[in-house]
Structure 1
Amino acid sequence: MTPTWHPIPGGVTAPAGFLAAAITAGLKPSGNPDLCLLLAPQGAVCAGSFTTSLVRAACVDLCAERLAASGGRARAVLTNSGQANACTGDRGLIDSLRATAALADRLGLAAEQVLICSTGVIGVPIPMDTLLAGLDPLAEALSREGGEAAATAILTTDLTAKQIALEADLGGRRVRIGGMAKGSGMIHPAMATMLGYLSCDAGVPAPLWQAMVRRAVDRSFNAITVDGDTSTNDTVLAFAAGEPLSPEHLEALEAGLTAVSQHLARAIARDGEGATCLIEVQVEGAADEAGAIAVARTVCGSSLVKCAVHGRDPNWGRIVAAAGRAGVVFDPEAVALWLGEHQLMAAGQPLRFDRSAASAYLRDCAAGTYLGGSGPGGDTVLIRLRLGQGPGSGRAWGCDLSDQYVRINADYTT
């Protein structure tokens, strides 16, 4: 019988042995929490996934280099919010090295076991005197109850904290997976302006854990988009520590890891700057999963589709046009398309549909009140595409595009 993953409280510190803390160090003028720490148990392995941008913050390269050099061994990650510390010249690396070394001293760890992530405005360095002064109270605040505070301290333009924990019985043993993330704008597949942290209290060999995390990221954080922009600091770090699982339970563990990652990814897309609803695109009948995800991503990323959803306009031509430029081969004469429960195309041909009812569906989703049908419901607009009879299926998530997005980003640094 397939194990069932159940939601539990605790977020990233729900798994056994994980501690977190957050403080208001004074890095952000808002006075909100802005410095956090996640500490994994002894013997933890860590897998990372990072931005593909050529313009990367020094902390991204430092994390990647330390994980590669250690074979995926790390114990702690420090996160500052308010300054991306990207495009700051040599100072970016110097400050990242100083911060991790100082924290390692306080935790009794080697500096190489400490990672660092930064988020905020590009081109702004970390106020190091402020950060260093916060390390003692930060380390002293570490606790099993610190997950919620940590999920708040990593936010920038986010409106809500994003965290989750799941639990399942695997072979008579309780296993937990937790996570937290931040992200609201500059979000696009191939990683985006987001940070994600995952924790697991089952032991997995580092190479297997890295492969599991890579697949989970491809099906979650790399399948969301808000505005088509990727960034300089995007990082996902996933820690696993505990008694090893037997091989027959690894598939179930990966399913839980993917579920946690997809929950956080959807929360990022729903919290897109200025968004009023989440868009979920489901693609089936593709030649393979990669092709299905590519089409879903392209539809989610279309500015015209996003604007149509925001305008409550069931303009299905924008959806199929976006699918056609995804770089995936399919037969246009085989396409079927649904908007919620409304079928708009079959066998590549348009169908008669109730335009007013389809528009009302979009309005209800924006209001968070749609309850009918077999789709996600609530505030989620469901677009479903069938490309043919192939075995490939995949999903991606995005949000509508409103005038508030322009206002938020026009005023971001001024």
Structure 2
Amino acid sequence: MITVKKEHIQILKDGHVTSPNGFSAGGVHCGIRKTKLDFGWIHSNVPATAAGVYTLNAFQAAPLKVTKASIEKEKKIQTIIVNSGNANSCTGEQGYYDALEMQRLTAAKMDVAPCHVAVASTGIIGVPLQMDKMRDAIESMGSVSGTVDDFEHAILTTDTVTKHCAVQMEIDGKVITIGGAAKGSGMIHPNMATMLGFITTDATVEPESLQNALGSVTDKSFNMITVDGDSSTNDMVLILANGNQKNQALTESHPQWPLFVEGLQMVSEELAKQIAGDGEGATKLIEVNVSGAKAEEDARQVAKAVISSNLVKTAIYGADPNWGRIVCAVGYSKQPIDPDKVSVSLGDIVVVKDGLAVNFDQEEGTRYLENRTINISIDLQEGSSEATAWGCDLTYDYVKINASYRT
């Protein structure tokens, strides 16, 4: 096993889902949304080993069910299609048949097996898809030379920016690339977070190992972000590994497996942070680092409790160094802590030491909280485990955006 160091992995400037060899992407406006691009696709030149993680919401949308069944059947996907503006969720049997038709039409258009097509949707819940527009969009896939930028814009809803990244590393003497794109801005909460995420790689990876890797990094990235405490019906993250670089098949027993997982972790974490930082109405990215926990899961739950607190989020928005809200969230996290050991810092400013207030400069605390990125450090002094969660402040604009979402 190798010792993974950051210098073993190169971050690609402006990297994206088509940075890995053999992937293309595009997007068009089909009319679900008034003027914005609303239909996108990713295509691999060969069937790719696929894995996915999905929302824990009991109301799972039709596209998610179709995609999950396809991946479970053969562990292969070659084409992903995504529409925005309509979630095709809570639409009954018709919604399911519509998702299947989208899969079938795409397969015919792209000359791939129907079970090798993944379908994703995002937008308003409970409204039937306008299938005439979906059919036209799918038909255009063969004649429109779209770009990856078109794809990234086509999957957005209330997002203000596209979200993408990529990294490279050397495995078996081959340059392996991992790229990603995501959408997500509101209804974001741990345990899948409301989002769509798409990750591609030109590595060869065994199916079970790919699923294990995606699950492990999701727990430390996409499941560690929150915007508003809501989780939606369509959330999924998919990864495709097309094997174009012809490395030896990666599994947990491969000596460079940790390097691949670290690269996947970097991509997932960066996408998660971009989502958290683009929360609806957000002005600040908040990072909560919890250390000194007895177990990693304890640290995760404490970090989630703090990042999910509306009182903490509003205090950050108002640049109010009210640390009492932070320790309250730590206290109701239901994790094993000793209040007399807990220490809290805002950036480099220690505000609580061993459960007691520290005399600090309030104006300095306010100035720190006016930054675009805020770091809250919490030391439980109970063990050696740690975890990090990401979120954003809660602003007036969040209410405005969600009060008029349908309009």
Equivalent AA in structure 2 for residue 408 of structure 1: I
The whole-number CA distance in structure 2 between the counterparts of 1:411 and 1:303 is 21
Give the counterpart of 2:133 among 101, 123, 130. 130
- What is the one-letter code of the residue matched to 1:57? A
Q: Residue 85 in 1 paired to residue 92 in 2?
A: no
Q: Which blocks of at least 5 consecutive residues in structure 1 are unaligned?
A: 366-378
C-alpha change, 1:141 and 1:38, in structure 2 (3 Å) is same
Partner Cα distance (1:310, 1:240) in 2: 40
2:98 corresponding residue in structure 1: 95
Which of 184-193 and 1-10 deviates more?
A: 1-10
Structure 2 residue matching 1:395: 3-state secondary structure: strand
In structure 2, distance between residues paired with 1:65 and 1:150? 24
Per the normalisation by structure 1, the TM-score is: 0.93
1:23 pairs with 2:31: no
Shift of 1:142: 5.5
Counterpart check, 1:399 vs 2:392: yes
Q: How does 1:63-212 map to 2 (within 5 A)?
A: 63-70=67-74, 72-141=75-144, 146-212=147-213
Query: Matched residues, percent identical?
Result: 39
Could you list the runs of 4 or more consecutive aligned residues of structure 1 that deviate by over 4 angstroms after TM superposition? none
The equivalent residue for 1:370 is: none
1:279 aligns with 2:286: yes
Distance 2:23 2:107 in 1: 17
Q: Residues 52-87 of structure 1: CA distance to partner in whole angstroms, max 9, x if unpaired?
A: 0001111111111111122x2111111011101101
Task: Give per-residue Cα distances to partners, 1:172-229, cap 9 Å, x unaligned.
Answer: 3211110000010000001232100000110110000000001111111110000000
Give the Cα separation in 1 of the matches to 2:59 and 2:262.
Answer: 33
The alpha-carbon distance between structure 1 residues 117 and 272, as it changes in their structure 2 partners (threshold 3 A), is same
Structure 1 residue identity aligned to 2:58? L
Q: Confirm whether residue 33 of structure 1 aligns to residue 34 of structure 2.
A: no
Give 2:51's aligned amino acid: A
CA distance in 1, matches of 2:141, 2:172: 37
Task: Write the letter of the residue equivalent to 1:187.
Answer: I
Q: Which amino acid letter does the alignment assign opposite residue 406 of structure 1? A: V
1:409 is aligned to 402
The aligned amino acid for 2:316 is V
Report the Cα offset of residue 149 of structure 1. 1.6
| CA distance in structure 1 between the partners assigned to 2:73 and 2:265 by the alignment | 26
Residue-pair matches, total? 396
* CA deviation string 1:119-143 (max 9, x = no partner): 0011122110011012122233367
SS of the residue 1:298 aligns to: helix
**Residues 41 and 292 (structure 1), Cα distance of their counterparts in 2 relative to 1, 3 Å cut:** farther
1:313-371 Cα deviation digits (max 9, x unpaired)? 111011011011112112211111100110011112111111110011111x1xxxxxx
TM-score normalised by the chain length of structure 2: 0.95
Output the CA distance in 2 between the equivalents of 1:4 and 1:201.
15
Contact persistence 1:6–1:168 (CA under 8 A): no
Tell whether 2:66 aligns with 1:62: yes
Q: Matched residues in 1 for 2:233 and 2:99: separation? A: 15
1:381 pairs with 2:374: yes
Alignment of 1:286-297 (within 5 A): 286-297=293-304
Q: CA contact under 8 A between 1:299 and 1:323: conserved in structure 2?
A: yes
* Counterparts of 1:137 and 1:283, CA distance in 2: 49
The Cα shift of 1:14 comes to 0.2
In the alignment, is residue 317 of structure 1 matched against residue 355 of structure 2? no
Query: Is the CA contact 1:8–1:167 (under 8 Å) kept in the aligned structure 2?
Result: no
Alignment of 1:252-271 (within 5 A): 252-271=259-278
Structure 2 gap ranges (5+): none
Q: Does the CA contact (< 8 Å) of 2:314 and 2:394 recur in 1? A: yes
* 8 Å contact kept, 2:15–2:167: no
- DSSP 3-state at the match of 1:75: strand
Residue identity in the other structure for 2:363: S
CA RMSD, Structure 1 to Structure 2 (Å): 1.3
